[in-house]
């Protein structure tokens, strides 16, 4: 058996700046009480932080200014520790795929469970809930990518899922203009066949929002892959449902796009 500091050093030697309580207890020769006391001391010294109960991050000197390592280094083992599947998406995924205009202020995760956000120092992990059925339908391995770090790999939404997620949860991704920027930057890289299949897991209005933006920015082939979703729609939906007209009577004179059955109730602006 080894002591807690030896165990931490062994984890770092393996490139793991994290560990779980069961793993550590199995390795160290300590009682539960002694282990918890040692963990508390190391936490007080700024050596460890805990994003979730029973899961610890080891703070190397270069991590201490931000208060925690980059979540990409530990999100995969954390989610495995919690027994919840996931994918990195929204602005972080858009940046990963090359949308240079996207500055992710937090690390956003799509998951099929309601999870509390994590804040450690300046690192913030935001969890966005997708229903279990929709998540199971969309989170196929072949539609995911891998975000590589020196600690391993983390699951990241492929281009198609990134675009669908960002148009579904645009209010969590810099609003409609943030979604439009991602569609402008990444739309040409989307596989039309995957886009059409994956769209079946999303609300029809979100798919139409994506189709409209794809067409607006000249990604015609990708937009056409989503045309059938507009054909099935029975009513018009607002491009941005959170925006209401100041005068209710003016809602009847807002621009309507009959191809996508959308009310264009906001101006879309992007950086080019």
Q: pLDDT tens digits for 24-56?
A: 999 998 889 999 999 999 999 999 999 999 999
Rounded CA-CA distance 240/13 in Å is 49
Alpha-carbon distance of 245 to 234, in angstroms, equals 22
Highest mean pLDDT of the ranges 22-36, 53-67, 72-86: 72-86
**Predicted pLDDT of residue 247:** 47
Q: Is the pLDDT of residue 149 over 90?
A: no
pLDDT value at residue 219: 98
How high is the pLDDT of residue 88?
97
Residue 269 is predicted with a pLDDT of 87
Quote the radius of gyration of the chain (alpha carbons, Å): 22
Q: Which residue has the tokens 């979703």?
A: 229
Q: What is the pTM of this model?
A: 0.91
Domains of the chain: 4-66 (1.10.10), 72-234 (no CATH)
Q: In the prediction, which pLDDT does 106 show?
A: 86
Residue 97 has pLDDT above 60, yes or no: yes
User: Which SS3 state, helix, strand or coil, does residue 1 take?
Assistant: coil
Q: What is the pLDDT of residue 104?
A: 65
- Residue 244: Cβ within 10 Å count: 11
| Mean pLDDT on 198-210 | 97
Nearest alpha-carbon partner for 202 in 178, 226, 177, 176: 226
What are the tens digits of pLDDT across the range 87-96? Answer: 999 999 999 9
Task: Compute, in degrees rounded to 10, the torsion defined by CA atoms 127, 128, 133, 136.
Answer: -60
Structure tokens that stand for 222 in this block? 């990708």
């Amino acid at each position: 058996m080894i002591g807690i500091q030896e165990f931490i050093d062994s984890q770092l030697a393996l490139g793991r700046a994290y560990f779980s309580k069961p793993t550590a207890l199995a390795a160290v020769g300590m009682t539960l009480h002694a282990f918890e006391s040692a963990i508390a001391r190391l936490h007080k010294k700024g050596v460890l932080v805990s994003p979730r109960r029973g899961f610890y991050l080891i703070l190397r000197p270069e991590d201490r200014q931000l208060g925690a390592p980059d979540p990409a280094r530990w999100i995969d083992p954390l989610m495995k520790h919690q027994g919840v599947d996931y994918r990195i998406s929204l602005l972080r995924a858009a940046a990963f795929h090359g949308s240079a205009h996207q500055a992710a202020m937090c690390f956003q995760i799509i998951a099929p469970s309601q999870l509390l956000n994590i804040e450690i120092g300046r690192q913030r992990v935001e969890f966005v809930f997708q229903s279990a059925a929709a998540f199971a339908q969309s989170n196929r391995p072949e539609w995911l990518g891998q975000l590589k770090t020196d600690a391993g790999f983390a699951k990241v939404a492929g281009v198609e899922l990134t675009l669908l997620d960002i148009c579904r949860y645009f209010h969590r991704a810099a609003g409609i203009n943030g979604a439009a920027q991602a569609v402008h930057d990444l739309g040409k890289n989307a596989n039309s066949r995957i886009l059409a299949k994956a769209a079946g897991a999303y609300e029809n209005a979100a798919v139409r929002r994506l189709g409209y933006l794809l067409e607006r920015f000249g990604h015609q082939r990708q937009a056409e892959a989503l045309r059938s979703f507009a054909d099935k729609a029975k009513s018009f939906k607002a491009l941005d449902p959170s925006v209401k007209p100041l005068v209710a009577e003016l809602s009847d004179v807002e621009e309507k796009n009959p191809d996508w059955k959308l009310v264009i109730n906001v101006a879309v602006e992007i950086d080019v």
